[in-house]
Structure 1
Amino acid sequence: MKLLLTGASGFVGQTIQAALPCVALPDGLDLRDRAALGAAIADIRPDTVIHLAAQSFVPASFQNPRETFDINLYGTLNLLEALQSVGFQGRMLFVGSGDTYGQVPEAALPVRETHPLHPRNPYAVSKVAAEALCYQWSQTSGFEIVLVRPFNHIGPGQSPRFAIADFAKQVMEIRLGRRAPVLQVGDIDVTRDFTDVRDVVRAYALLLEQGRNGGIYNVCSGREYSIRDLLQKLIALAGVDARIEQDPARLRPAEQRRMVASFEALHRDTGWQPLIPMEQSLQDLMNDWEKKLQ
């Protein structure tokens, strides 16, 4: 079975490549280029597809919403059309986002797939639109599509654009004597649902095989983690003393104070549950930064 992976160069894509035999699109190929994408799909002729490629940085989606839509919605449409044009009859996994739920009242936690979608940024809107497109194709095309809404990821290889990876980098820089013992943070008195990226990849592989066509699945740990607690754990793992300083530039408006989701549907259909403890995720993240910074 030939598995095509879009977005292979990203954090999750690299983790998938380490875990599963797969074929990536040619380097530099842009999903917005219909002709080049069509030629690549005709050449690869995949049996299954994991569609990860996206513009996924929320601040960038505010700066350039049109580009975000061109990549996330129309790039997905280009991929679907390219697959159909070569007679694809396998299964595709579309990777959406837990961000599509938007502001969720605490009374509605943990979030389930039936919760209404109220996207609050152009990235989340583009993912709602692309998910709806994929659902329609799952019902009307000659191939099956499974839809996932992952929540926060953590683990080695993550970009410091994301909070916990950034904190791990700062902590390791302090430990290596590269910076003063002061950590620059945003609002850390919030909670999030974090899953180790390797557990996420295992969920994707299981859903590609066992998920229901047109089915929508949260991929999450079902656990609520305080950002401040995780930062304190990183400091303890590194064995450093550091002052925590809030940087106004890192504060985001209208922040969701608490977030936790349910993976009940995923567990019901595949038996999946998270296996990697948070302490291991944090340690592996620290080890990764130690290697990169030395």
Structure 2
Amino acid sequence: MSLQDIYRGKKVLITGHTGFKGSWMAIWLKELGADVYGYALAPQSEMDNFVICDLEKQINHCEGDVRDGNKLKDYFQQVQPDFAFHLAAQPLVLLSYQDPLGTFDTNLMGTVNFWEAVRATPSVKAAVNVTTDKCYDNKEWVWGYRENDPMGGKDPYSASKGCSELITNSYLESFFKTEGTANIASARAGNVIGGGDWALDRIIPDYFRAFKKGEKLEVRNPYATRPWQHVLEPLSGYLNLGAELFVKGKEFSGGWNFGPEDMSNYTVQELIDEILELDSTGGYNIPSNTVKLHEAILLKLDISKAANFLRWKPVLSFKETVAFTLKGYQDDIKIADLNLYQARLKQIEEYTEKAKQKSIQWVI
């Protein structure tokens, strides 16, 4: 069966659908034929992917905060979804230093409220909590973290995501082990980039904000190495994981990593230099006296489990990842001349075609 066979005609509820990854996921699911429902805060800016793609007219949209457990549970009861994906979060490291209480409240209690809503809604057959590679206790190892490595996190954001994973495992062990309950999992992905992300304090949105102003970006951590991925890479993993949970059940429960190939981690500076190879009109500076809060320098994921059991692997090379990302932002900047929803669909189609060319088939 294909992903379209699995999701067509199904009700899929996404928390955080107004965010970057959530909005892309909503578009892809809609094109797979799903009946998409979203629960999230209002978009933060007029340039958010949800806004510029006019998604409010394309899917079922409910504005709400995942910290409001009763409202979230009521929405689940109203929708009666078949699938649920939890993407709502406070996703920024630097903001977590400014607002640790809000970060922990959203990322911990939001996770608890999500699982409580799933637990109270028998229609849900498959549910996935989306966290991050930063959930691991990062030792700055040169090898990738595996799904059974310890959770951790020095900054509030990373710690909150480690806690979200522990909460998910607790719900799995306590409430979702028996037959007849939802099949649940968590998904951990690296640094995700692509058109439609204009969040603050992220390297690629910051680069293109500076580009639009005719300025050069100041890069605070040029040698930090990250598992850069285009947004469609982890989304293909989440959709595959949800499909396997739905059809094959509890053998696919637990944590899953989705990242680039082992040798495909690049520094921040290499990432921007690759953009400049494709479009030399931007630029950057490296300040010599920046006061830095803690951020991991080296972080990698081991994706062997997803490759072996989900038959999932990345589609795009690093150069293709950068090219897809650049094209997405170029489309954003030309917003007055383009239908952004159709532009996103074109990238999804191009991505799936590349997968076919590389004999990567999303079937279960």
Q: Structure 2 length normalisation: TM-score?
A: 0.72
Q: Unpaired segments of 5 or more residues in structure 2?
A: 1-9, 40-60, 176-180, 246-250, 335-364
1:80 equivalent to 2:143? Answer no
C-alpha separation in 1, matches of 2:268 and 2:284: 16
Is residue 2:170 matched to residue 1:156?
A: no
1:4/1:46 contact within 8 Å kept: yes
Cα distance in 1 for partners of 2:327, 2:289 equals 29
Displacement of 1:241: 7.0
Q: Tell me, yes or no, if the aligned pair for 2:230 and 2:324 is still in contact at 8 Å.
A: no
Q: Percent identity?
A: 23
- State the partner residue of 2:17: 8
Give the structure 2 partner of residue 231 of structure 1: 272
Whether the 8 Å CA contact 2:152–2:162 is kept in 1: the answer is: no
2:281 alignment partner, one of 230, 233, 240:
240
Tell me the CA shift for residue 163 of structure 1.
Answer: 0.7
Mapped contact 2:226–2:299 kept (Cα < 8 A): yes
Residue 139 of structure 2 corresponds to residue 104 of structure 1 = yes
Q: In 2 relative to 1, CA 183–34 (structure 1 residues): closer, same or farther, beyond 3 Å? A: closer
Q: 1:71 to 1:293 in 2, by over 3 A?
A: same
Q: Deviations over 1:221-279 (max 9, x none)?
A: 03211211111111221133746342755x53344332222110111111111102332
3-state SS in 2 of match to 1:116? coil
Deviations 1:105-153 (A, max 9, x none): 335x122223222311222222222222221222332222111111111
SS of residue matched to 2:108: helix
Q: Secondary structure at the match of 2:62?
A: coil
- Offset at residue 55 of structure 1 (A): 1.0
Letter in 1 for 2:267: S
d(CA) in 2 for partners of 1:152, 1:241: 21
Distance 1:70 1:257, change over 3 A: closer
Aligned mates of 1:189, 1:89 — CA distance in 2: 43
Cα 1:244–1:30 shift into 2, 3 Å = same
C-alpha distance 247-11 of structure 1, shift in aligned 2 (>3 A): farther
The Cα RMSD (Å) is: 2.2
1:118 maps to 2:152: yes
State the alpha-carbon separation in 1 of the partners of residues 199 and 320 from structure 2: 18
Give the secondary-structure state (helix, strand or coil) at the position aligned to 2:320. Answer: helix
Q: State the Cα distance separating 1:42 from its structure 2 match.
A: 1.0
Cα shift readout 1:33-56 (whole Å, capped 9, x = no counterpart): 222222211110111111111111
Partners of 2:134 and 2:162 within 8 A in 1? no
Letter in 2 for 1:229: E
Deviations 1:152-198 (A, max 9, x none): 1121112253112322443x43xxxx424x33211212211111110
Counterpart selection for 1:266 from 303, 306, 316? 306
Measured in 2, the distance between the counterparts of 1:47 and 1:138 equals 18
Paired position in structure 1 for 2:207: 167
* Counterpart position of 1:23: 37
Contact 2:91 2:157 in 1 (8 A): yes
Q: Out of 157, 172, 184, which is 1:145 matched to?
A: 184
Cα distance in structure 1, aligned partners of 2:124 and 2:23:
26
Is 1:256 the counterpart of 2:296? The answer is: yes
1:214 aligns with 2:253: yes
Structure 1 distance, partners of 2:24, 2:282, is 32
Structure-2 residue corresponding to 1:283: 323
Amino acid at match of 1:217: W
- What is the SS of the residue equivalent to 2:167? helix
Instruction: Give 1:276's aligned amino acid.
Output: L
C-alpha distance in structure 2 between counterparts of 1:160 and 1:37, whole Å = 24
Indicate conservation of the 8 Å contact 1:32/1:75, yes or no: yes
Do the aligned partners of 2:214 and 2:282 also contact (CA within 8 Å) in 1?
no
160 and 32 in structure 1: CA distance in 2 versus 1, 3 angstrom threshold? closer
SS in structure 2 at match of 1:106? coil
Cα distance in 2 for partners of 1:137, 1:238 equals 47
Taking structure 1 as the reference length, the TM-score comes to 0.88
Greater displacement, 156-165 / 10-19: 156-165
**Change in 2 beyond 3 A, CA 1:286/1:63:** same
1:18 is matched by which residue type in structure 2? Answer: I
Pair 1:100–1:252, CA change in 2 (3 A) = farther
1 CA distance for matches of 2:258 and 2:282? 35
